[in-house]
Amino acid sequence: MHKNQCQNCNKTFGVHDRDIEFYKKIDVPEPTWCPDCRNMRRLTFRQERTLYQRKCDLCKKDVVSLYPADSEYTVYCHDCWWSDKWNPLKFGQDYNENQSFFKQFGELMKKVPRVATIGAHNQNCEFVNYTNYSKDSYLVYGCHQAERCFYSWRAHHSKDSADCLQTTKSELCYYGIDIENCYNAHFAYQAKDCQDCSFIFDCRGCKNCFMSANLRNNEYVYKNKQLAKEEYEEAINKHDLGSQKEQRKLWQEFKELTENKAIHRSVNAINSENITGDNFINAKNCHYSFNVENGENCSYFFFGEDIKDCYDGTFTGWPGELMYENLSGGVKNYNTHFGIVCWSCKDTFYSDNCHHSENIFGCSGLNKYKYCILNKQYSESEYKDIKQKIEKKMRADKEYGEFFPIEISPFGYNETMAQEFYPKKKEAVQNMNWSWQENLPGTTGEETIENNQIPDNTKDIKEDIINEVLACEECNKNYKIIKPELDIYKQLNLPLPRQCPNCRHKARWNLRNSFNLWNRQCMCTQPDHGHDGQCKNEFETTYSPERKELVYCEECYKKEIY
């Protein structure tokens, strides 16, 4: 291993022997930016949560879009973009060897129509993005097969849930974070196979548990104490769970539980080996990666599934192989390098929003094409010759091997997921000559009801609340309650939220660990765990040294929990 200095943040970062082997395999130079800066650069091209109202530039119908009405980009609605009413090759341009490739590609992006939002096969899901095969959902992002879900992020195969973050196969859940196969679980964090539970952390196979942590296959546990059924029900009935005041009191107690009493696993991993990072399922030989499922020989990955021999990906897979520097792409991708929202592609390089295509370089908006460069069609031999010439020039200019520069992103930094992963102030962004969106959608000061006029308890909320405009107590932006959302609060006996959807999402996001690793020593001091005093085991973990949580190595964690 040797170390390089990041050309963006100036920090040093390691380049391992396995990395060098991969770079040689796909014939790219070593990266010049560190893993975090590379991920940040990719994320400046993923705009998820900022939705605008505008007209389709082709059919002129009103459409919800990632691009405001005054954007310099051409924007088509879904029906128009996927239709045969336009030809992406019409915008093709010759490669100019006297000009930067990235400058030419940025110009192409502005000419080729862009789809209003990212997604497919949705029903009654106008206000969603990066969402597929979903139904009757509202303001959900990054979801797959979500039905009647609201204000959630990455809700997969889930129903009738709201304000969730990273949920799978769950139903009737509220404020779930990293949960799977849960039913009627509220304020659940890192829970699996749980039912009728509230305020639980790191619980598996539990029913009727409340304000508890580190449980396995338990029932009727209240504040980590086993009770009889009647005792449990009596304890629960003392809490007015429909009250906003009571909910806030319980939330503070839950934070105290997770931060100061619960045992935290150094690395969350299931059936995985030779890994560094966090949140793995069926992973092997994956390093500096986070939220990877069914991955093998992958590094520097952030949210990947069904991936093999891939490096530097963010929200990619399903499946993908030999991918490098890809964002929001996959679905049977093979040998795709430097791509943005490219699905079912092969041998694709430096392309954006291209699908079912192969042997393309520097293209945008293609579907079922091959042998194209900058959206211009060539024969196979012409394509290979021109591609070789472009690569040679890009290598000489030290462009080849780099992802698209942030300067050509269609979005302001503060609109994108880069701001969620790596938040920055406006001045810092503008000092880098990156874009900042000044006119974000939304209103303030137009509320029709004050927060202190909203009944504390959901049982006292009347249906006409859906006609009111509320003000977020955190950022003061206006928001509304929609009828299906109110129905869920009534059904689950939950109080109305006093913060806007974005502030609620930010609060949930901040509860998850960062995407950084620190060397730590196990904090276990239990005398029956086979060590004297504090356990000497060391590990890499996403828990920074200054945090208060009790973090155990895998061996001590299993002895304590199981």
Are 532 and 506 members of one domain?
no
Rounded Cα distance, 91 and 234, in Å: 69
- pLDDT band of 496, cuts 50, 70, 90: very high
In this predicted model, what pLDDT tens digit does every residue of 345-401 receive, in sequence order?
Answer: 999 999 999 999 999 999 999 999 999 999 999 999 999 999 999 999 999 999 999
Q: Which is it for strands 324-327 and 333-340: parallel, antiparallel or unpaired?
A: parallel
Residues β-bridged to residue 207: 195, 219
Residues β-bridged to residue 161: 149
For 401, which DSSP code? Answer: T
Are 530 and 493 members of one domain?
no
Number of structural domains in the chain? 2
Q: What DSSP assignment string belongs to 15-63?
A: E-HHHHHHHHHHT-PPPSS-HHHHHHHHHTT---S--EEEE-TTT--EE
* Domain membership flag for residue 485: yes
Average the pLDDT over 485-490 and give the result: 97
CB-based burial label for 203 (10 Å; 0-12, 13-18, 19+)? buried
* Domain membership flag for residue 97: no
Tokens of 557: 């964690």
Cα radius of gyration (the chain): 25
Residue 176, pLDDT score: 98
Question: Does residue 509 sit in helix, strand or coil?
Answer: helix
* Domain membership flag for residue 356: no
For 174, which DSSP code? Answer: B
| Nearest alpha-carbon partner for 165 in 558, 477, 543, 501 | 501
Rounded Cα distance, 145 and 171, in Å: 12
* Domain membership flag for residue 82: no
* Domain membership flag for residue 540: yes
Q: What is the dihedral of CA 533, 535, 541, 546, to 10 degrees?
A: 10
pTM equals: 0.97
Angle, helices 380-396 vs 101-111, to 10°: value is 120
* Domain membership flag for residue 529: yes
Rounded Cα distance, 206 and 209, in Å: 7
Domain end, chosen from 511, 532, 552, is at 511
Rounded Cα distance, 380 and 383, in Å: 5
Range of the domain at 530: 518-561
* Domain membership flag for residue 489: yes
- pLDDT band of 51, cuts 50, 70, 90: very high
Q: What is the mean pLDDT of the chain?
A: 98
Helix, strand, coil % over all residues of the chain, rounded to 5: 25, 35, 40
Q: Distance between the two ends of the chain, CA-based, in angstroms?
A: 38
In this predicted model, what pLDDT tens digit does every residue of 248-307 receive, in sequence order?
Answer: 999 999 999 999 999 999 999 999 999 999 999 999 999 999 999 999 999 999 999 999
Are 484 and 528 members of one domain?
no
Rounded Cα distance, 445 and 455, in Å: 21
